[in-house]
Chain A
Amino acid sequence: MSHLQLKSLTKKYKKDTVVDAVNLSVNEAETLVLFGPSGAGKTVLLRLIAGVVEPDAGTVEIDQEDMTEVEAEHRGLGMAFQNFALFPHMSAFENIASPLRAAKLNKNDLKERVGDVARLLKIEHVLSHMPRALSNGQKQRTALARALVGEPPILLLDDPLRNVDAKLRFEMRLELPSLLRGRGTTVIYVTQDYKEAMALGDHIAVLVDGRVVQHGSPEDIYLRPANLEIARLFGDPVINRFEVNPVAEGENVSVALSGIELPLHGAEPSLSGTACVLGIRPEYVSFVPENVPGSIPVNVEAETPINEKIITLAKTTGGRELLVSRPARTNGPDSGNAFVTIKPGSGLLFKQSSGELLHGIVNTQVTEAVA
């Protein structure tokens, strides 16, 4: 239904540039996820799109029409907030009905549409309650209902599952995609949870300090993060990092890790001598039964099951810490000496000083390792 475009959108608070010349574009019926740590400017960006905050520079275009000067109440968007932002002095029904009342819809149609949306979100039975009588989950569903009831062409969701307990969060993460995809709505979804980002987004824009640092499909970001910080944020448990110095022998570049030489196929020889950080995701490290050539000796320190994985903390002979991830209910050493190998082609090489990606995974199918 709508094509949203942000051009050089900028917002400053006093000396702080909170949103820095952001360029983004979303096609109709797509879901764009805005991902980033707190303070990255995601919420401010949403507010700029919604029109409740005025930008210092740049434009917001909807369907190629410049909306920057248009007041929020005329933009026809829907938004759900992290803290629900329900009107405390109105019932759930009235909260949801609010956009319809603004459009001056007649009584019967209004009642019907509120009922429909409430049924969809399974909160019919609490429509007459006041917000303080609702549980967090019900509040969140009411907030979503309010955003959806007007059938807006563009939906802005500001980390809606953040303040909802873990179990409910999981449930809603399953429901949301069907809710959103079915309506053909264009969605901008803000989250700090990378799993949510990967599950919900058609494409993801990573925001750090107000700037879009990377924009691409979930796989792009997971497999080829633009810098070390993104690699760290996108992955659970966090990616293993080793400081290394690539050495070139003719056309071949390799790095040394605990005395084992790891070849970096396709890397540029000019990398030699640059201080780098080698990033290897725990799921690409696996235990091997014995001292296979090319395996790294480690000492297992601790092991803990988390959700569907088992995480092992190990230390190399050089004293470097290493996390290994394997699926639950598989066997592995839980203490003492062991050996690990690294999946070929799974290394990410980052420049140490700037963190940017120098050489990454190429031509490898890793979808099965994605959480």
Chain B
Amino acid sequence: MIDPVAAGLVVIYFIAMVGIGVWASKKIHNMSDYVVAGRSLDFWVFTLLMIGSVCSGMSLLGVSGLGYKFAWPTIWEQLAVPLSIAFCIIFFGTKMHLVAKKSGYLTVQDYLAHRFESQTALRGMSATAGIVVSMIYLAGQYTAISIVLMWLFGLPHWMALLIGAAIVTFYTVIGGLYAVAWTTLVQGLLLILGVLIMAPIVIMAAGGFTHINEVMAAVNPTNVDPWVTGAGAVFTPEYILSFVLLLTIGLACAPHVINNILCAKDVKYFKWAPLVAFGIYAVVMFLLKFSGFAGIVLVNDGLIQLPKVPNASDFIFVYGIQAAMPSMFLWGIFAVIVLAAVMSTTDRLMLTIGTYFSWDIYKKILKPDAPDKHVLLVSQISVFIAAAVTLLLAITPPDMLVWLIWAGIGIMFATFAVPMLAGLYWRRATREGALVSMALGLITSLVFGGISYFKLAKLPMHFSFYAFVIAVVAMIVVSLMTKQTSEKVLEETMTGWYIRK
């Protein structure tokens, strides 16, 4: 039976999000308002948008799930993910924000098209790849929404998915990035406060931090090591290296994260935003991971029993909260926090997909003479279609939520990291090099991802690392074999081996 108080909290949260969407919709007058919030985001809205875009279903459910399953060797995730925000702002944002403001970019594809002098081929390929990987990532987010609503209300999976998707889609479609940014501000604050309060309660319920580590070590001594070695080990040193690269650089160049750079009002925010974002998010991530560790003790002591589902470890934080706080009211608050985390990424992803299609494919390639209002409408319809398609993908949840999201990040890493970094820092990088690098990165990451997922061969490192190396080699070889980009464009796009001149 649904508890009325818990249900009331979730309903109030949903109404608040819709209310922000309606308020934000009044600020939308053109594509710039819809896509980059008129480049008007203040420091805290921008910083929390960066955190909220990175903080996803993986952060609350997958991170603790992974901690429960693989213990301390997964702790590097807690450093790499917050670091990705700083990496994005420093290595991509500092230059790109300046160039974007001067040239009026609305998406990262505008930068790539300008830098590599490729208005259709590279723009089209990059936008298509961005849409595909964002949809993969989005499906994982929907699964997280479904987990929470199923647990709290006992709803069927499809109904939980439908409710969550309807709310996010509504406010994203009508409010664009204004709605996404301001809902993320609220969601981010809810998430931070919620984790700061709830995670310590779960940890204390399991006997405290030291006791948790002692129990973990007693269960398996390698549980408290920074990595594991030997046959069958997953988090080996070489795997962790690729894992850290994947999370730090892959998330930093993910379409739904890097596009936020274009929305900041002033470049001076990039001075302290990396440290602030890293500090806040690292604390949240560490607490979540420790909650996953606490789950090992709670299960070991028989205090909780995970459901018999393929992705059972993703339920560990949810069940930990349930064991630590036997109050439906608090469960309602917790549900709101998880929904806040998941929805803060979901809305950004949906908007990214809609923008990439309407601006980069429809406006810039298919119909360059389309009026702004027409493009805005196409963008809103695209967001709606993206929500519907990914909803269908999410109907059958994967074995483990976090693996699906990693697959998405891995493909982003292999596809976008090389053209972005080479474009910004290597003057010799050419259009052909970027095209081949991006295409090979995308294709080989899908191939290696398939090999890993279907266990066709044992890969010692994360599958995306191999694809990344291939993309790097392709970029270097093809660029050196082809004609260099004009000096005028290189100067306009501030290309060179520096972050700041």
Do these two chains really belong together in a complex? no
